[in-house]
Protein backbone atom coordinates (compact mmCIF):
# COMPACT_ATOMS: atom_id res chain seq x y z
CA UNK A 1 0.00 0.00 0.00
CA UNK A 2 1.04 3.60 -0.63
CA UNK A 3 -0.49 7.05 -0.17
CA UNK A 4 -2.10 8.92 -3.07
CA UNK A 5 0.03 11.88 -4.16
CA UNK A 6 -3.05 14.09 -4.26
CA UNK A 7 -5.68 13.08 -1.67
CA UNK A 8 -3.33 11.11 0.64
CA UNK A 9 -5.65 8.12 0.95
CA UNK A 10 -4.19 4.62 1.03
CA UNK A 11 -4.15 2.91 -2.39
CA UNK A 12 -2.62 -0.20 -3.96
CA UNK A 13 1.19 0.14 -4.45
CA UNK A 14 0.87 -0.73 -8.16
CA UNK A 15 -1.97 1.71 -8.92
CA UNK A 16 -1.27 4.29 -11.66
CA UNK A 17 -4.44 6.27 -10.78
CA UNK A 18 -6.06 6.89 -7.43
CA UNK A 19 -9.49 5.15 -7.29
CA UNK A 20 -10.79 8.00 -5.08
CA UNK A 21 -9.63 11.24 -6.76
CA UNK A 22 -8.38 9.84 -10.12
CA UNK A 23 -4.97 11.58 -9.67
CA UNK A 24 -2.19 10.17 -11.84
CA UNK A 25 0.36 8.36 -9.63
CA UNK A 26 3.09 7.88 -12.26
CA UNK A 27 6.42 9.76 -11.95
CA UNK A 28 6.90 12.89 -14.13
CA UNK A 29 9.03 11.19 -16.85
CA UNK A 30 6.37 8.53 -17.42
CA UNK A 31 3.62 11.17 -17.55
CA UNK A 32 5.55 13.21 -20.14
CA UNK A 33 7.59 10.82 -22.33
CA UNK A 34 7.97 13.25 -25.26
CA UNK A 35 9.30 16.08 -23.08
CA UNK A 36 11.56 13.62 -21.28
CA UNK A 37 13.00 12.49 -24.63
CA UNK A 38 13.59 16.08 -25.76
CA UNK A 39 15.31 16.94 -22.47
CA UNK A 40 17.58 13.90 -22.76
CA UNK A 41 18.57 14.88 -26.32
CA UNK A 42 19.28 18.49 -25.26
CA UNK A 43 21.32 17.26 -22.30
CA UNK A 44 23.39 15.00 -24.58
CA UNK A 45 24.16 17.94 -26.92
CA UNK A 46 25.10 20.18 -23.97
CA UNK A 47 27.46 17.56 -22.54
CA UNK A 48 29.04 16.88 -25.95
CA UNK A 49 29.45 20.63 -26.55
CA UNK A 50 31.05 21.09 -23.15
CA UNK A 51 33.45 18.23 -23.74
CA UNK A 52 34.42 19.59 -27.17
CA UNK A 53 34.78 23.19 -25.92
CA UNK A 54 36.71 22.37 -22.77
CA UNK A 55 39.92 21.06 -24.31
CA UNK A 56 42.92 22.89 -22.92
CA UNK A 57 46.63 23.37 -23.31
CA UNK A 58 49.15 25.07 -21.10
CA UNK A 59 50.07 28.69 -21.65
CA UNK A 60 51.74 31.57 -19.89
CA UNK A 61 50.50 35.14 -19.76
CA UNK A 62 51.89 38.63 -19.97
CA UNK A 63 50.21 42.02 -19.67
CA UNK A 64 49.75 44.47 -22.54
CA UNK A 65 48.27 47.95 -22.07
CA UNK A 66 46.15 49.67 -24.70
CA UNK A 67 45.14 53.33 -24.91
CA UNK A 68 41.65 52.77 -23.48
CA UNK A 69 41.91 49.32 -21.88
CA UNK A 70 44.37 46.98 -20.25
CA UNK A 71 44.07 43.48 -21.70
CA UNK A 72 45.87 40.33 -20.54
CA UNK A 73 47.39 38.64 -23.58
CA UNK A 74 48.12 34.90 -23.45
CA UNK A 75 51.33 33.80 -25.13
CA UNK A 76 51.65 30.15 -26.25
CA UNK A 77 54.40 28.17 -24.52
CA UNK A 78 55.36 26.32 -27.71
CA UNK A 79 55.83 28.05 -31.03
CA UNK A 80 53.21 26.87 -33.46
CA UNK A 81 52.27 27.97 -36.95
CA UNK A 82 49.52 30.57 -36.82
CA UNK A 83 47.26 30.72 -39.84
CA UNK A 84 46.08 34.30 -40.51
CA UNK A 85 42.48 33.93 -41.74
CA UNK A 86 39.97 36.38 -43.14
CA UNK A 87 36.89 35.80 -40.94
CA UNK A 88 34.53 36.09 -43.91
CA UNK A 89 36.53 33.44 -45.79
CA UNK A 90 36.52 31.18 -42.72
CA UNK A 91 32.72 31.40 -42.40
CA UNK A 92 32.26 30.99 -46.17
CA UNK A 93 34.44 27.86 -46.13
CA UNK A 94 32.29 26.28 -43.40
CA UNK A 95 29.01 27.39 -45.04
CA UNK A 96 30.10 26.13 -48.47
CA UNK A 97 31.41 22.69 -47.44
CA UNK A 98 31.73 21.86 -43.77
CA UNK A 99 33.66 18.62 -44.39
CA UNK A 100 36.32 20.37 -46.49
CA UNK A 101 36.52 23.23 -43.95
CA UNK A 102 37.06 20.79 -41.08
CA UNK A 103 39.92 19.19 -43.04
CA UNK A 104 41.39 22.64 -43.72
CA UNK A 105 41.09 24.17 -40.21
CA UNK A 106 40.60 21.48 -37.54
CA UNK A 107 43.26 21.51 -34.82
CA UNK A 108 45.08 24.39 -36.55
CA UNK A 109 45.83 27.64 -34.78
CA UNK A 110 43.97 30.44 -36.54
CA UNK A 111 44.02 34.20 -36.04
CA UNK A 112 41.30 36.54 -37.30
CA UNK A 113 39.52 39.81 -36.59
CA UNK A 114 35.77 39.92 -35.90
CA UNK A 115 33.12 41.84 -33.94
CA UNK A 116 32.06 40.80 -30.43
CA UNK A 117 28.44 39.66 -30.41
CA UNK A 118 28.25 38.22 -26.88
CA UNK A 119 30.52 37.84 -23.85
CA UNK A 120 29.40 35.11 -21.48
CA UNK A 121 30.00 31.68 -19.92
CA UNK A 122 28.65 28.40 -21.22
CA UNK A 123 26.64 25.93 -19.16
CA UNK A 124 29.87 24.39 -17.82
CA UNK A 125 31.19 27.79 -16.72
CA UNK A 126 33.77 28.25 -19.49
CA UNK A 127 34.06 31.90 -20.59
CA UNK A 128 33.56 32.56 -24.30
CA UNK A 129 33.18 35.25 -26.94
CA UNK A 130 30.56 34.89 -29.63
CA UNK A 131 31.94 36.63 -32.71
CA UNK A 132 30.44 37.85 -35.99
CA UNK A 133 32.34 38.65 -39.18
CA UNK A 134 33.62 42.08 -40.02
CA UNK A 135 30.68 44.16 -41.33
CA UNK A 136 29.71 43.11 -44.87
CA UNK A 137 26.62 43.20 -47.06
CA UNK A 138 26.35 39.40 -46.85
CA UNK A 139 26.10 37.58 -43.53
CA UNK A 140 24.94 33.96 -43.35
CA UNK A 141 24.11 33.78 -39.63
CA UNK A 142 27.00 31.45 -38.88
CA UNK A 143 29.08 32.77 -36.01
CA UNK A 144 32.23 31.83 -34.14
CA UNK A 145 32.46 30.86 -30.49
CA UNK A 146 35.89 31.36 -28.92
CA UNK A 147 36.34 29.52 -25.62
CA UNK A 148 38.86 30.92 -23.10
CA UNK A 149 40.58 29.31 -20.11
CA UNK A 150 39.56 32.21 -17.86
CA UNK A 151 37.62 35.45 -18.16
CA UNK A 152 40.54 37.83 -17.46
CA UNK A 153 40.84 39.00 -21.08
CA UNK A 154 37.08 39.31 -21.56
CA UNK A 155 36.23 41.73 -18.75
CA UNK A 156 37.47 44.81 -20.62
CA UNK A 157 35.67 43.97 -23.90
CA UNK A 158 32.23 45.23 -25.00
CA UNK A 159 29.67 43.95 -27.51
CA UNK A 160 30.21 45.46 -30.97
CA UNK A 161 33.96 45.93 -30.41
CA UNK A 162 36.37 44.69 -33.08
CA UNK A 163 38.89 42.17 -31.69
CA UNK A 164 41.67 40.03 -33.09
CA UNK A 165 41.72 36.56 -31.55
CA UNK A 166 43.87 33.47 -31.88
CA UNK A 167 42.87 29.91 -31.04
CA UNK A 168 42.64 26.30 -32.16
CA UNK A 169 39.79 25.55 -34.57
CA UNK A 170 37.79 22.51 -33.52
CA UNK A 171 34.96 22.29 -36.08
CA UNK A 172 31.36 23.44 -36.50
CA UNK A 173 28.08 22.40 -34.88
CA UNK A 174 24.64 23.85 -35.66
CA UNK A 175 26.01 27.02 -37.31
CA UNK A 176 28.64 27.69 -34.64
CA UNK A 177 32.32 27.45 -35.54
CA UNK A 178 34.21 26.46 -32.37
CA UNK A 179 37.65 27.82 -31.55
CA UNK A 180 39.29 26.62 -28.31
CA UNK A 181 42.13 27.95 -26.14
CA UNK A 182 41.48 31.48 -27.41
CA UNK A 183 43.57 34.54 -26.71
CA UNK A 184 42.78 38.18 -27.43
CA UNK A 185 45.66 39.51 -29.52
CA UNK A 186 44.35 43.08 -29.84
State CA 52 to chain mean position distance: 9
Residue 119 in 3-state DSSP?
Answer: strand
Residue 74 pLDDT: 52
32-69 pLDDT, tens digit per residue, is 888 888 888 888 888 777 776 544 444 444 433 444 44
Residue 12 has pLDDT above 60, yes or no: yes
Phi, psi of 98 (to 5 degrees): -60, -40
Residue 119 has pLDDT above 60, yes or no: yes
Residue 67 pLDDT: 40
Q: What share of the chain is helix, strand, coil (3-state, %, to 5)?
A: 25, 35, 40
Q: Round the average pLDDT of the chain to a whole number and report it.
A: 79
Range of the domain at 115: 58-184
Q: Are residues 81 and 137 in the same domain?
A: yes
Number of domains in the chain: 2
Q: Are residues 21 and 95 in the same domain?
A: no
Phi, psi of 103 (to 5 degrees): -60, -40
What does pTM read for this prediction?
Answer: 0.53
78-102 pLDDT, tens digit per residue, is 556 888 888 888 888 888 888 998 8
Are 33 and 39 in contact by the 8 Å Cβ rule? The answer is no
Residue 174 pLDDT: 82
Are 125 and 143 in contact by the 8 Å Cβ rule? The answer is no
Are 19 and 6 in contact by the 8 Å Cβ rule? The answer is no
Q: What is the CATH number of the domain that holds 172?
A: 2.40.50.140
Q: Are residues 26 and 79 in the same domain?
A: no
Are 110 and 83 in contact by the 8 Å Cβ rule? The answer is yes
| Residue, of 70 and 140, whose pLDDT is higher | 140
Q: Which residues pair with 61 in a beta bridge?
A: 74
Q: Are residues 62 and 97 in the same domain?
A: yes
Q: Are residues 92 and 73 in the same domain?
A: yes
Amino acid sequence: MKLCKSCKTEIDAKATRCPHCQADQRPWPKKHPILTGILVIVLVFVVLGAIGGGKGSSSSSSSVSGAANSVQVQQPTTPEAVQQVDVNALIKDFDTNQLAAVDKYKDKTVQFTAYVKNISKDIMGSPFLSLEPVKTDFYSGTHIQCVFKDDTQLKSLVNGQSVTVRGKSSGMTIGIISVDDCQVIK
